A = this chain, B = another copy of it.
Amino acid sequence: MAKKISQAVVKRLPRYYRYLETLENEGVSRVSSSSLAELLDITASQVRQDFCNFGGFGQQGYGYDVSKLKKEIQKIIGLDRNYNLIIIGAGNIGRALAGYKGFSSEGFFVKALFDVKVDEKETNGVGIFHMDALGEYVKNNKVDIAVITTQGSVAPSVCDELVSLGIKNIWNFAPIDLSVPSDVTVENISMSESLYVLSYRMNNEA
């Protein structure tokens, strides 16, 4: 896709997908842009504009076909294929992610964990290896996404190592911004930032 889609639209795609999945499970076969708009707290016109970015999905008088639209968005997000993940940092969060069933059900498979300290051979059925073995592992296995769940202080050097090994996609849980070459994609998820936003809102908006 040549056209650059705005980040706001990209962030809404997973929510469209989630709602359509729920609707499909509930046996709903058609949905209007205004219903989707209400669920996402935007306007119906914004929904139609969002979809225009991807060709419009041909809404007719009756709204969109739920299953068809879900499949289109699934394909756009890239949820129509499988991904191999490795996790760097076998602490509480890394181990929890290795056992999180919600990922594998959508095609994201955690294949290995790496850490500088290896206390166990595996967690939740996923092998834990020493960081020294990372280079060899990446050379011999297809790794689509590396997840960084280390402490913030070591995350930049871990990231540099991953980049030097040819990893192109990084999902970063460490509370720090990572510098990567332009051909590497980093997506950050910051639990602290989310908690601090809650803290701000409970202290200032209540």
Chain A residues close to B by CB (< 8 Å): 1, 4-5, 10-11, 13-15, 17-18, 39, 76-79, 83, 92-93, 95-97, 99-100, 102-103, 106, 108, 124, 144-145, 168-169, 171, 175-177, 183, 185, 187-206
Cβ of A198 and Cβ of B175 under 8 Å apart?
A: no
A203: chain B residues at CB < 8 Å are 77-78
> Which of B76, B144, B204 is the one whose CB lies under 8 Å from A1?
B204
Q: Is the CB of B185 within 8 A of A77?
A: no
Contacts of A13 in B (CB 8 A): 196-197, 200
Q: How far is the CA of A196 from the CA of B177 in the complex (A)?
A: 19
| B197:A10 contact, CB within 8 angstroms | yes
Residues in B with CB closer than 8 Å to A79 are 196, 199
CB distance from A159 to the nearest CB of B (A): 14
A24 to chain B, nearest CB (A): 15
A135 to chain B, nearest CB (A): 22
27 CB < 8 A contacts A-B:
A10-B197, A11-B197, A13-B197, A14-B190, A14-B192, A14-B193, A14-B197, A15-B193, A17-B196, A18-B176, A18-B193, A39-B177, A76-B200, A78-B200, A83-B199, A92-B97, A92-B99, A103-B192, A103-B195, A106-B192, A106-B196, A108-B199, A145-B198, A145-B202, A169-B202, A171-B195, A185-B198
Contact between A206 and B168 (Cβ–Cβ < 8 Å)?
Answer: yes
CA distance A108 to B175 in the complex (A): 16
Q: CB distance A198 to B187 under 8 Å?
A: yes
In angstroms, how far is the closest chain B Cβ from the Cβ of A95? 7
The 7 closest A-B pairs by CB, nearest first: A96-B96, A187-B198, A78-B203, A92-B96, A14-B196, A14-B193, A189-B194
- In the complex, chain B residues whose CB is within 8 Å of the CB of A92: 95-97, 99-100, 124
